Amino acid sequence: MTLLNKFMTLLAITALVGCGESKKKEENKGFEYEQPSNDAGTAEAPDLEPISNTVTITGNDLMKYNKKEIKVKAGEKVTLTLKHVGKLDKQVMGHNWVLLKKGVDLVDFATEAQTAVDNGYIPEGTDDVIAHTKMLGGGESDTIEFEAPEPGTYQFLCSFPGHYGVMQGEFIVED
C-alpha cells in the first residue's frame, strides 16, 4: 500500500464513522424533541413550589410588588408579611397589601380608597376587604394573619393613589 492509499483508506473510515455518528444523532432526535416541553416545565418551576400559607411579598421604590400571584391552601390561617424594600417615604411611595372580597371591582375600590387619606387609603368601615396590611414606607414591614377564604381566585392591590394599575395580583386559594 502506498502512503496515498493509506491516507485514502483513513479518509474513507473517517467518513464512515462520521456517517455513523450523524445517523445516531438522527435517531436521537426523538428524544431531543421531548426537550422543549421539559424546558417549559423548568421555566414554570416557581409554580411547582410547595404551597405555603406563610407568605412574604415585597414592594419597592419602582412601584412594584415582587409577586403577581400568591397561592395558599384553603381552610388554614395565612400569615402574610409585606416588606417595603425601598427607601422612599410612605407619603411618596406608600405600599400596602389589600385583599378584596370576591365580586368587588378593583378599580372601583381603588378609586374610593384614594380619597381615604386619613385612614391609610382604606375606605373607613369598608365591607370590601378580607384583610389588609398597614401603609408602609421604605424599610418598613407589616405582618398580618387571617383565615384563608373559600377556594377561588381573589385580587390583591396596593391602595396608594395611582399604584393599583401596576401593584395588583391574584390571590389563589386552593382546595
List of residues contacting Co ion (CB under 5 A)? 95, 158, 160, 163, 167
Half-sphere exposure of residue 140: CA atoms within 13 angstroms, side-chain side: 14
Q: Are 59 and 166 in contact (CB under 8 A)?
A: no
What is the number of other CB atoms lying within 10 angstroms of the CB of residue 65? 21
Closest separation in Å from C-beta 46 to Co ion: 23
Rounded Cα distance between 106 and 67, Å, is 17
51 versus 57: smaller Cβ distance to Co ion:
57
At 66 the three-state DSSP class reads: coil
At 85 the three-state DSSP class reads: coil
Q: Which residue is nearest to Co ion (CB)?
A: 158
Rounded Cα distance between 85 and 134, Å, is 15
Longest CA–CA separation in the chain, Å: 101
Residue at grid coordinates 380608597? 113
Closest separation in Å from C-beta 170 to Co ion: 17
70 versus 158: smaller Cβ distance to Co ion:
158
130 versus 158: smaller Cβ distance to Co ion:
158
Closest separation in Å from C-beta 89 to Co ion: 12
Closest separation in Å from C-beta 171 to Co ion: 16
83 versus 173: smaller Cβ distance to Co ion:
83
Closest separation in Å from C-beta 116 to Co ion: 14
53 versus 132: smaller Cβ distance to Co ion:
132
